[in-house]
């Protein structure tokens, strides 16, 4: 979010809260994310390399005297009300990201009372930039501050992920919520999902920009296919476990084990597992590239990741493949691939700063010619994670 948008969003949310509830709220913000490399590895106990970006959910919250929950989404222009005793899925969907987090905090033994929330955001929705994770994290952080719950950042991210898994029903890994909560300016987060240890890798080359091209499509099979991929990975692990009980996830598996125990049993599951195991290695090699400032080599690995997601993991789609193919031979684009869960959303591209305008123009024109759809380009600036905006 640039400073003007940030201030406008904050003012709008603040103002709306005062109008609706006649009170001064506590304000927080929580960002969306990009992921440079390491896709579909988080729920396999693997590694990911995300970063928080300058697009946020801004959320205003205040206490109530009863146990009611009153919610208002400025972007949707919708309100929803329930109580702490009736935390169930709503017909509107967006309240679920808030209610699911409240439920998780209660499950973890925290005491809440009623609250009001107004929120808005500038994270494009359905674009794979994790606007829902940002809303979950903003909610958890805000409830923590409001009721002095003393929850640490890791537990906030885990509660937000659990809300998505159990309440919303998407069996996502921890990447999106972790990136939103732990983001730091100009730094990527190398997160090890096996034990949540993480390190920051500086990413601040003035000659490069992270450009996102939004396909502007979200195919309907996205969440069912996501859960199916997860099950396929678990099945692959179970085949190896019969011979190597010490292998608990694809993180522990080797390509040799896949060849021996998974390939003869199920070719499709083998492809899924092969992609994941090689992607974890690719991420580690990619981090070595970054430490040496070798962005050319890093970019090539991004294209390799796309190939794996397209042909082995099969979570890409025509629109994503077109966007990647359009930049493949452009010397100003070091790397490109689909990002996030797949079946729509954005590609992430590493582009030479001085050529960004030309690349965006050319890709936009060609994408329209090939698909009859309009792409939207975003520049992602790596920014700080979840924070309180007022005292
Ligand atoms: C979605 C999920 C994440 C992760 C990515 C794929 O964004 O929410 O947990 O699995 O897909 O890498």
- Give per-residue pLDDT as tens, 39-48: 999 999 999 9
**Is position 57 within any domain?**
yes
250 and 348 housed in the same domain = yes
User: How many domains in the chain?
Assistant: 2
160 and 305 housed in the same domain = no
54: Cβ below 6 Å to ligand 1?
Answer: no
pLDDT bin (cut points 50, 70, 90) of residue 2 is low
200 and 329 housed in the same domain = no
Nearest Cα to 333, choosing from 344, 341, 343, 323?
Answer: 323
Tell me, yes or no, if 176 is annotated catalytic. yes
Task: Tell me how far the alpha carbon of residue 371 lies from the centroid of ligand 1, in angstroms.
Answer: 26
Task: Tell me how far the alpha carbon of residue 72 lies from the centroid of ligand 1, in angstroms.
Answer: 27
49 and 137 housed in the same domain = yes
How much of the chain is in helix, strand and coil states, percent to nearest 5? 45, 25, 30
Over residues 14-36, the mean pLDDT reads 98
- Give per-residue pLDDT as tens, 264-285: 999 999 999 999 999 999 999 9
Number of separate helices (H) and strands (E) present in the chain: 11, 13
72 and 145 housed in the same domain = yes
Identify the domain containing residue 345 by its residue range: 208-380
Return the DSSP state at 111.
-
Residue 344 has pLDDT above 90, yes or no: yes
Backbone φ, ψ for residue 275 (5° rounding)? -60, -50
**Which of the following is catalytic: 96, 176, 214, 304?**
176
Among protein residues, the one whose CA lies closest to atom 10 of ligand 1: 40
**Is position 102 within any domain?**
yes
**Is position 386 within any domain?**
no
Backbone φ, ψ for residue 380 (5° rounding)? -100, 120
pLDDT, residue 3, reads: 55
Over residues 289-294, the mean pLDDT reads 97
Ligand 1 atom closest to 170 (CA): 8
Do the Cβ atoms of 322 and 370 come closer than 8 Å? yes
pTM for the full model? 0.97
Nearest Cα to 142, choosing from 172, 134, 74, 347?
Answer: 134
Cα→Cα distances 366→242, 347, 360, Å: 50, 15, 10
Whole-angstrom distance, CA of residue 391 vs CA of residue 389: 7
Residue 192, phi-psi category: left (phi > 0), alpha (psi -120 to 50), beta (remainder): beta
pLDDT bin (cut points 50, 70, 90) of residue 218 is confident
Q: Is 188 helix (H, G, I), strand (E, B) or coil?
A: strand
Q: Which of 174, 204, 234 is the last residue of a domain?
A: 204
- Give per-residue pLDDT as tens, 227-251: 999 999 999 999 999 999 999 999 9
213 and 199 housed in the same domain = no
**Is position 387 within any domain?**
no
Cα→Cα distances 312→222, 272, 294, Å: 16, 6, 27
**In the beta sheet, which residues pair with residue 119?**
59, 73
63 and 21 housed in the same domain = yes
271 and 175 housed in the same domain = no
**Is position 345 within any domain?**
yes
Cα dihedral sign, 186-75-165-309: negative
Whole-angstrom distance, CA of residue 129 vs CA of residue 348: 11
Nearest Cα to 178, choosing from 326, 6, 51?
Answer: 51
Q: Which residue has the tokens 């025509």?
A: 318
344: Cβ below 6 Å to ligand 1?
Answer: no
Task: Tell me how far the alpha carbon of residue 274 lies from the centroid of ligand 1, in angstroms.
Answer: 18
Residue 181 has pLDDT above 90, yes or no: yes
Return the DSSP state at 22.
S
Residue 1 has pLDDT above 70, yes or no: no
Residue 106 has pLDDT above 70, yes or no: yes
What does the radius of gyration of the chain's CA atoms come to, in whole angstroms?
A: 21
253 and 194 housed in the same domain = no
**Is position 390 within any domain?**
no
Which runs of consecutive H residues, i.e. helices, occur in the chain? 3-21, 94-107, 131-146, 153-162, 175-182, 222-241, 255-257, 267-291, 295-311, 318-327, 356-371
Over residues 321-342, the mean pLDDT reads 98
Q: Which of 143, 173, 204 is the last residue of a domain?
A: 204
**Is position 100 within any domain?**
yes
166 and 29 housed in the same domain = yes
pLDDT, residue 219, reads: 79
42: Cβ below 6 Å to ligand 1?
Answer: yes
Do the Cβ atoms of 48 and 283 come closer than 8 Å? yes
Strand-by-strand arrangement of the 333-338 sheet: 333-338, 344-352, 208-218, 376-380
Residue 204 has pLDDT above 60, yes or no: yes
Q: Which of 149, 179, 204 is the last residue of a domain?
A: 204
- The CATH code of the domain that includes 142 is 3.30.230.10
Over residues 100-121, the mean pLDDT reads 98
> Pairing state of beta strands 68-73 and 187-192?
unpaired
pLDDT, residue 4, reads: 62
219 and 200 housed in the same domain = no
**Is position 391 within any domain?**
no
Q: Is 63 helix (H, G, I), strand (E, B) or coil?
A: strand
- Give per-residue pLDDT as tens, 59-105: 999 999 999 999 999 999 999 999 999 999 999 999 999 999 999 99
Over residues 196-216, the mean pLDDT reads 97
279: Cβ below 6 Å to ligand 1?
Answer: no
SS3 assignment for 79-95: EEEEECCCCCCCCCCHH
- The CATH code of the domain that includes 322 is 3.30.70.890
Among protein residues, the one whose CA lies closest to atom 1 of ligand 1: 341
285 and 364 housed in the same domain = yes
173: Cβ below 6 Å to ligand 1?
Answer: yes
pLDDT, residue 222, reads: 76
Do the Cβ atoms of 127 and 320 come closer than 8 Å? no
Q: Is 163 helix (H, G, I), strand (E, B) or coil?
A: helix
């Amino acid at each position: 979010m640039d400073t003007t948008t940030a201030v406008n969003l904050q003012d709008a949310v603040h103002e709306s809260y005062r109008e609706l509830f006649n009170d001064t709220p506590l304000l927080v913000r929580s960002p969306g994310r990009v992921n440079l490399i390491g896709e579909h590895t988080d729920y396999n106990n693997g590694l990911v390399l995300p970063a928080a970006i300058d697009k946020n959910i801004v959320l205003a919250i205040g206490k109530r005297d009863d146990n009611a929950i009153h919610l208002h989404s400025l972007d949707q222009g919708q309100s929803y009300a329930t109580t702490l005793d009736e935390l169930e899925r709503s017909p509107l969907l967006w309240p679920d990201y808030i209610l699911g987090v409240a439920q998780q905090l209660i499950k973890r033994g925290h005491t809440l009372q009623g609250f009001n929330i107004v929120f808005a955001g500038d994270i494009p929705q359905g674009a794979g930039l994790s606007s829902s994770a940002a809303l979950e994290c903003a909610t958890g952080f805000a409830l923590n501050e409001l009721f002095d719950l003393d929850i640490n950042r890791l537990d906030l991210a885990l509660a937000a992920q659990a809300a998505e898994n159990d309440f919303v029903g998407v069996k996502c890994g921890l990447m999106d919520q972790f990136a939103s909560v732990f983001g730091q300016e100009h730094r990527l987060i190398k997160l090890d999902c096996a034990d949540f240890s993480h390190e920051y890798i500086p990413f601040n080359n003035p000659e490069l920009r992270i450009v996102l091209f939004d396909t502007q499509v979200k195919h309907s099979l996205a969440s069912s296919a996501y859960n199916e991929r997860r099950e396929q990975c678990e099945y692959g692990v179970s085949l190896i476990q019969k011979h190597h009980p010490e292998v608990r996830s694809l993180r522990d598996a080797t390509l040799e084990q896949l060849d021996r125990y998974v390939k003869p049993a199920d070719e499709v599951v083998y492809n899924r597992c092969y992609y994941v195991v090689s992607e974890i290695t690719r991420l580690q090699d990619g981090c070595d590239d970054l430490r040496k400032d070798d962005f050319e080599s890093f970019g090539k690995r991004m294209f390799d990741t796309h190939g794996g997601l397209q042909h082995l993991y099969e979570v890409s789609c025509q629109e994503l493949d077109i966007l990647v193919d359009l930049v493949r031979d452009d010397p100003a684009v070091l790397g490109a691939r689909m990002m996030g869960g797949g079946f729509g959303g954005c590609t992430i591209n590493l582009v030479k700063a001085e050529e960004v305008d030309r690349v965006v123009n050319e890709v936009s024109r060609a994408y329209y010619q090939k698909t009859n759809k309009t792409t939207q380009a975003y520049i992602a600036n790596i920014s700080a994670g979840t924070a309180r905006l007022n005292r």
